Structure 1
Amino acid sequence: MDDSSIACFDPRSDASPLGDDEVHVWLSTVADATPRALAAAARAVLERLLCDYANCSNVPPRIERGPHGKPFAPELPQLEFNLSHAGRHVLLAFAHGQALGIDLEAEQRRLALGEIAQRFFAPAEARALARLPLPLQRSAFLQLWTRKEAVLKALGVGISFGLDRVEFVLDETGTAGALRAIAPEAGSVAEWTLHRLDPAPGMLGALAWRGPARRVRTFALRA
């Protein structure tokens, strides 16, 4: 499991070739942070990048959603992708032949951290969070949350799968680390690769897939 922090997003205006041993992660920042505008911007960026990767015309490929909402392009069966948005930012991930999950959260998002952890996290995670000083709890919670969401999105399942069935180590400094345990139907711990993403100030993200390590390349989309 690779759990490196990725903070440098090279600015680009189009997609570079996507190698079979790579995952490309894109960051886009929008001016209007209203939920409707952000969702529309995320869709537009996804269509633009899909066209770049698929070398299609000005008509973007059709996007559909699986039973739990995961998007896919039926006309591009070998191009896997996932996206997430929060605040004024959109994160997107692309790979050939490898299902992906990506999640993004704002550090200032208002959450009942202790209550959510007690109800939905693994008991060891909830206890580790409760032991942390208050200033560390929010970041630690979001590190766990984004990792869990990324794994569930890579699997193509919803939160009903069980956040407690994807368990991570949380150390005494509030840093989330290795995957400790996962539900048997999701494979073994050793099969999963995770990366922490630090795409912008005040934002936390995670990228996950069930498969061998790949090179992760990061780009910031220019208008």
Structure 2
Amino acid sequence: MPSNDADPFLTLASPPPLGDDAIHVWIHDTCELRPRAVREAARAVLERLLRAYAGGELPPAMANGAHGKPFVPGMPWLQFNLSHAGSHVAVAIARDQPLGIDIEPLDRRIAVDGVAARFFGAAEAAALARIEAQRRQPAFLRLWTHKEAVLKALGDGLGFGLERIEFALSDEGRVLGLDRLAAEAGSPREWQLRPLEPVPGVVGCLAWRGPPRIVQRLRFAP
């Protein structure tokens, strides 16, 4: 069932073929409000998708990498990442391409100046401080999802250091691109970043280190 013109996500009941040059980004509303219920629903959504991409067979049990990133030992070609915000779940899936996805609700309350000063690069903290007050929190959350997506693609988690991945920001708070990156994470030119706004009130980012790919945005059919 195709989506309407205002919705960039295509609504489908099952995954389309996953090409070598594609990344599938799925969004799903769990209709749950309790965090534990959302986490359980997110796990169920991920398992359903992995089963579908495995051809209907139940894939081997997931394991966690050294820094907690899940993977399927028996299907090394199947790369995926998961995030949830409020009642919504986002899953990114690709062939042979590590990737990271992060989404956040815009109404999440954050002590922006304190967190940025403690955990972000000096230039990022200064750029956020210059943004007018009503735009500062949305700008922070967009920046946060970009940082998280890169960290998750690396597979190192927050232990890598948020300040070691630095982005340039516009005066309005738009993320302009990777500005500086720790040497072991490669050159900023090697990274692909795709901002996401899957539903009103939720922002996010998809990131991977590698050549450009076609990003297909998908939503579960009711």
TM range (shorter): over 0.9
Name the structure 2 match of 1:218. Answer: 217
- Determine if contact 2:193/2:205 at 8 Å carries over to the other structure: yes
Letter in 2 for 1:134: A
Equivalent residue, structure 1, for 2:74: 75
Contact 1:169 1:180 in 2 (8 A): yes
- Residue 23 of structure 1 deviates from its aligned partner by 0.4
Q: CA RMSD in A?
A: 1.2
Q: Residue 62 of structure 1: SS of its match in structure 2?
A: coil
3-state SS in 1 of match to 2:24? strand
Deviating 4+ runs (over 6 angstroms) = none
Which residue of 1 is the match for residue 104 of structure 2? 105
1:152 paired with 2:181, answer: no
- Distance in 1, Cα, partners of 2:64 & 2:12: 28
Superposition deviation, residue 222 in structure 1 = 2.1
Separation in structure 2 between the aligned mates of residue 33 and residue 18 of structure 1, nearest angstrom: 31
Check whether the contact 1:48–1:60 (CA below 8 A) recurs between aligned residues: no
Q: Distance in 2 between matches of 1:168 and 1:87?
A: 26
Distance 1:94 1:32 in 2: 23
- Provide Cα deviations, 1:64-98, integer angstroms capped at 9, x if missing partner: 11121111011111010001001010000000000
Which sections of structure 1, spanning at least 5 residues, go unmatched? 1-6
Q: Give 2:9's aligned residue.
A: 9
Partner residue, 2:53: 53
TM-score (norm 1): 0.95
Instruction: Tell me the residue number matched to 1:40.
Output: 40
The alignment of Structure 1 onto Structure 2 pairs a total of residues equal to 217
- RCO higher in structure (CA 8 A, sep ≥6): 1
The one-letter code matched in structure 2 to 1:27 is I
* Paired letter, 1:214: R
Distance 1:13 1:126 in 2: 43
Residue 198 of structure 2 corresponds to 199
Q: Deviations over 1:120-167 (max 9, x none)?
A: 101000001001100110111011100000000000012121101101
- Counterpart position of 2:4: none
Deviation at 1:60, TM superposition (A): 4.2
- Partner in structure 2 of residue 4 of structure 1: none
Residue identity opposite 2:18 in structure 1: L
Instruction: Supply the distance in 2 between the matched residues of 1:163 and 1:122 (Cα, whole angstroms).
Output: 8
Give the match's secondary structure for 2:15: coil
